[in-house]
Amino acid sequence: MNFDSKFEAKVSFLFFDAADLTSHIYELHESTLDDCIFQLRNILSQTKNLKGVQLFVNGDTLEISRFIREISDGFEDVAFFGTKANVFLDDMMKSEQPYIISNHKLISDGILAVTYSGENLNIMMDYRLGWTQLGRGMVATVDKDRPRQIGDTCLLIVDGKPAVELYERYLGVKNTPDFLLNINEFPLVLERGDTTIVRVPFYNGPEGELYFFGDIYDGEIYAWHGVCGEDGIFVQYVS
């Protein structure tokens, strides 16, 4: 639907004849993340023939990785997938707010979970990124105690220097108000077991620290990677 030259909406419709879908929405202004996890786990455990859970999350300091880890624990045969509500980077720099809309509610800080169930329903998951390593490793230091401006993780130091200097050293991008606009095509990538995970910074602090949605472990090692001919950054966990 194209309403005018400024606003545009894209609507997708999904049709099922072998599944039951139920949506559950939690506003974190009204309850804590722990309450949400407890209530949703009870719902999942009582849902017959549960096959999948689609998650839509939103909120500046929502601990996304902890939420997914704790909500999916014990449901190894259930497919968990989804996304974070967001706006275009240019709009984010203007403090435009993304929202989740469901069940006659519009929320800016919360979680929408859609359960997929059915005796004859089958869900196949696939996950591909196709990165190729291009460089030496660099050790990362995460500050777990610093109050987070945004997201799950504060990446403080890489190879003994402020995290933003990684981008200045290799890309020539300085820690300015336009920093995120200049580096958003060069994410960090986490290699954990057989899974490759992308991490993109959402805020750059005045001391050169970077803030991410999703966890990054202290002691992970970074190396440059490329995908489809473009450069990125790769991270490999060190046990």
Distance CA 214, CA 152 (A): 5
Q: Which residues contact 51 (CB under 8 A, 6 or more apart)?
A: 19, 78, 79, 116, 117, 118, 121, 122, 123
Per-residue confidence at 237, pLDDT binned at 50, 70, 90?
Answer: very low
What pTM value is reported for the model? 0.79
Per-residue confidence at 59, pLDDT binned at 50, 70, 90?
Answer: confident
Domain boundaries, the chain: 20-117, 132-236
Q: Which residue type, as a one-letter code, is found at position 59?
A: G
Instruction: Say if domain 20-117 classifies as CATH 3.90.1570.
Output: no
Could you tell me whether strands 230-236 and 188-192 are parallel, antiparallel, or unpaired per DSSP bridges?
parallel
Give the residue-averaged pLDDT of 97-122: 86
Report the alpha-carbon angle 207-231-132, nearest 5.
Answer: 120
At residue 3, φ and ψ (nearest 5 deg) are: -80, -40
CA 205: distance to chain centroid? 19
Give the residue-averaged pLDDT of 144-171: 85
Maximum average pLDDT range among 14-18, 108-112, 232-236: 108-112
Residue among 60, 63, 26 at smallest CA distance from 43 = 26
pLDDT, residue 135, reads: 57
pLDDT, residue 111, reads: 92
pLDDT at 211 over 70: yes
